Structure 1
Amino acid sequence: MNPGFADLQPYPFERLRGLLADVRHGGGLPLIDLSIGEPRHAPPALVRSALIDNLDGLGRYPKTAGSDELRAAIAGWLVRRHGLPEGAVDPARQVLPASGTREALFAIAQCVVDRAPGARVAMPNPFYQIYEGAALLAGARPLYIPCAAAAGYQPDFDAVPPAVWRDVQLLYICSPHNPTGRVLTLDQLEHLVELAQRHDFVIASDECYSEIYPDDAAPPAGILAACRALGLDGFDRCLVFQSLSKRSSVPGLRSGFVAGDARLIERFLLYRTYHGCALPEYVQAASAAAWRDEAHVAASRAIYRRKLAAAVQALGARVALPQGGFCLWLPVPGGDDPAFTRSLYADHHLRVLPGSYLARADGGVNPGAGHVRLALVADEAACAQAMTRLAAALND
Structure 2
Amino acid sequence: MITRQFVDRQKLQEFHPFTRLRTLLEDIPAGRSCLEDGQVINLSIGEPQTQPPAFVAEEIEKAAKGWSKYPLSKGTPDYLAACAHWLGQRYKLPENFINPTKHILAVPGTREGLFMTALTVLSSPKKNSEAPVFLTPNPCYHVYTGAAAAAAAEVVTVNATKESGYLPDYTTVPEEILERTELCVLCSPSNPEGAVAEPQRIKDLISLARKHDFVVVFDECYAEIYTDTAPQSALEIAREMEAESDAAKNNAQHDPLANILVFHSLSKRSSAAGLRCGFIAGDEKWISMINTTCQVGGAGVPIPVQAAGTRLWQDEEHVNINRALYQQNFNLAQKILSPSLSVEIPAGGFCLWLNVGNGIEVTKKLWKDAGIRVMPGAFMSHANDDGVTPGDRYIRLALVYDPSFMKKAFISIRNILDEKQDVGING
In which range does the TM-score fall when normalised by the shorter chain?
over 0.9
Q: Corresponding residue for 1:66?
A: 75
Question: 2:100 aligns to what SS in structure 1?
Answer: coil
Residue 146 of structure 2: aligned partner? 133
2:361 paired residue among 339, 364, 370: 339
Amino acid at match of 2:193: T
1:235-250 correspondence runs (5 A): 235-250=257-272
Partner of 1:221: 232
Matched, 1:83 2:92: yes
- CA RMSD, Structure 1 to Structure 2 (Å): 1.5
What is the alpha-carbon distance in structure 2 between the residues aligned to residue 318 and residue 348 of structure 1?
A: 21
Tell me the TM-score normalized by structure 2. 0.89
CA contact (8 A) 1:144 1:362 kept: no
Q: Which amino acid aligns with 1:101?
A: T
Aligned residues: 390
More displaced stretch, 138-147 vs 359-368? 359-368
Shift, 1:4, TM fit: 4.4
Aligned residue identity for 1:287: G
What is the distance in 2 between the residues matched to 1:197 and 1:28? 52
Deviations 1:278-311 (A, max 9, x none): 1111001000000111111011111111111111
Residue 407 of structure 2 is aligned to residue 366 of structure 1: no
- Residue 16 of structure 2 corresponds to which residue in structure 1? 11
Q: How far apart are the structure 1 equivalents of 2:409 and 2:202?
A: 35
| 2:279 is the counterpart of 1:257 | yes
CA contact (8 A) 2:33 2:372 kept: no
The answer on whether the counterparts of 2:33 and 2:41 sit within 8 Å (CA) in structure 1 is no
Q: Distance between the aligned counterparts of 1:80 and 1:158, measured in 2? A: 31
For residues 165 and 417 of structure 2, what CA distance do their matches in structure 1 show?
22
- Partner of 1:368, secondary structure, is coil
Q: CA deviation at 1:209?
A: 0.6
After TM superposition, give the deviation of residue 357 of structure 1 in Å: 0.1
Q: Aligned to 2:101, what secondary structure does the other structure show?
A: coil
Return the match for 1:22 from 17, 22, 27. Answer: 27
**Which of the residues 292, 302, 316 maps onto 1:270?**
292
* Aligned-residue offset at 1:276: 3.1
Provide the secondary structure at the position in 2 that maps to 1:144: strand
TM-score by length of 1: 0.95
Structure 1 CA distance for aligned equivalents of residues 32 and 257 of structure 2 = 55
AA in 1 matched with 2:396 = R
Q: Distance in 2 between matches of 1:329 and 1:131?
A: 20
2:401 alignment partner in structure 1: 378
In 1, the alpha carbon distance for the partners of 2:131 and 2:24 equals: 35
**Pair 1:392 & 2:415 matched:** yes
Q: 1:295 to 1:282 in 2, by over 3 A?
A: same
Runs of 4+ that moved beyond 4 A:
none
* Cα offset, 1:26, TM superposition: 4.3
C-alpha displacement of 1:25:
3.4
Question: Is residue 209 of structure 2 the alignment partner of residue 186 of structure 1?
Answer: no
Cα distance in 1 between the residues matched to 2:155 and 2:274: 30
Q: After the TM superposition, which of the residue ranges 337-346 and 225-234 deviates more from structure 2?
A: 225-234
CA distance in 1, matches of 2:43, 2:312: 26
Contact 1:55/1:282 (<8 A) preserved: yes
Distance 1:270 1:230 in 2: 29
1 CA distance for matches of 2:15 and 2:180? 27
* Aligned residue in 2 for 1:330: 354
Counterpart position of 1:310: 332
Deviations 1:100-131 (A, max 9, x none): 00001011011011364231000000000000
SS at match of 2:354: strand
Greater shift, 50-59 or 149-158, is seen at 149-158
Matched AA of 1:393: I
53-62 vs 186-195, which moves further:
53-62
Task: Note the C-alpha offset of 1:62.
Answer: 1.2
CA shift in 2, pair 1:28/1:351, >3 Å: closer
More divergent stretch after superposition (167-176 vs 39-48): 39-48
The correspondence for 2:169, drawn from 132, 139, 156, is: 156
Tell me the residue number matched to 1:176. 189
Q: Which residue of 1 aligns with 2:425?
A: none
Quote how far apart the aligned CAs of 1:65 are. Answer: 1.2
Q: Which moved more, 1:340-349 or 1:249-258?
A: 340-349
Question: 2:400 is aligned with what amino acid?
Answer: V
Alignment identity in percent? 39
- AA aligned to 2:142 is Q
One-letter amino acid of the counterpart of residue 406, structure 2: C
Q: Deviations over 1:50-91 (max 9, x none)?
A: 111111111222111111000000000111111111221000
CA distance in 1 between partners of 2:346 and 2:370 (Å): 24
Contact 1:227–1:235 under 8 Å retained in 2: yes
Instruction: Name stretches of at least 5 consecutive residues in structure 2 with no aligned partner.
Output: 1-6, 243-247, 249-254, 420-427
Deviation at 1:94, TM superposition (A): 0.4
Q: Secondary structure at 1:318's aligned position in 2? A: coil
- Tell me how far apart the structure 2 counterparts of residues 84 and 350 of structure 1 sit (CA, whole Å): 44
Deviates more, 1:94-103 or 1:344-353: 344-353
2:8 and 2:121 map into 1 onto residues whose CA distance is: 16
